[in-house]
A = this chain, B = another copy of it.
Amino acid sequence: MEIEAATEQKSLLATLAPGKRARLRRLLFEFGPGQGTLLLLPIDQGIEHGPRDFFPNPASKDPSYQFRLAAEAGYSAIACQIGLATKYYPDYAGQVPLLLKVNGKTDIPSSDDALSTCNASVEDAVRLGADAVGYTLYVGSPRQDTDLEQLRAVRQDCDRFGMPLVVWAYPRGSAMDAKGGQSTYYAIDYAARMAMEMGADVVKLNMPKIDPEKDKLAPAPYNEMEVSQEEAIRSVVESAGRSLVVLSGGSKVDDDKLLEQTRFIMQAGGSGVIYGRNVWQREWSEAVEMVDQIKEIMLSNVSRIP
């Protein structure tokens, strides 16, 4: 048997139920950069970190900033929690798709036993006209039992309502720390596969960081492999299988680096990026310009159309 190259595989949307396909196509083709790509704007930092992320650009403290940016700069969707979706999305309904994030937590207690509880339901998402639902899975947390059970209910509701499921697949917790922490190639690779196995239609991953000291703590063969960051990205995209992959930006990084990793993920067969702080921590015109650059890189590096 000859395994087909990723770009030769049949459409990743082929096995999706009609509701999922209709909604996901809206993000992939009708909004954002198009051509089957995803450019997502996350505005859940107010829960996950508190308002501290808004200080670099005070205008960003008003959620209208991000909603208007998502709509006017042309994102594929805006990802936020129930409060913003209820009080800010109405003004932008129809102008940019909504990805309702259904769980979240503060970063105040330690994340040794991380668990992110649902504060909204898939039915909330349907009611608000969302086109996708987001869920954070803490892969490897000692509380994975509760996490997986909770995700099951969300996934089943997504199946019931034909709602695409986007899984934020985050390695986390004390046991993961003991194996090198949340950013190793091992950790991200496991997270990618896990999300796909749990039924994610789209997987959001953080960039794997190559760090020989930490990699040594990972199980074989990861502890003795030497891979470049580019190779690691390609590998984790493969681990996600028929789930689409978007790469996260995390805290604000150097512009060149951001664009480079955008290129990596697209070349690796990923579907796009989810960039928040790297964009909206900038003044308006600068933010719009950065979005344009990202889009350009994305579209010129598409290697797999879902």
Interface residues of A (CB under 8 A from B): 1, 3, 14-15, 44, 46-47, 49-52, 55, 59, 61-65, 68, 81-84, 86-88, 90-91, 104-106, 108-110, 115-121, 124, 139-142, 144-146, 148-149, 151-152, 155-156, 159, 171, 173, 175-176, 179, 186, 189-190, 192-200, 219-222, 235, 238-239, 241-243, 284
Contact = CB atoms under 8 A, between A and B. Distances in A.
A199 B88 CA distance: 11
What number of copies of this chain does the assembly contain? 5
A65 B238 CA distance: 13
B186 A109 contact: no
A238 B117 contact: no
A63 B9 CA distance: 13
Given A106-B139, A117-B149, A175-B110, A64 B3 contact: yes
Contact of A194 (B46, B59, B62): B46
Contacts of A198: 81-83, 119
Nearest to A241: B63
B139 A61 contact: no
A137 B31 CA distance: 37
Contact of A3 (B59, B121, B197): B59
Nearest 4 interchain pairs by C-beta: A108-B140, A50-B190, A83-B197, A109-B175
A145 B117 contact: yes
A175 B108 contact: yes
A241 B59 CA distance: 12
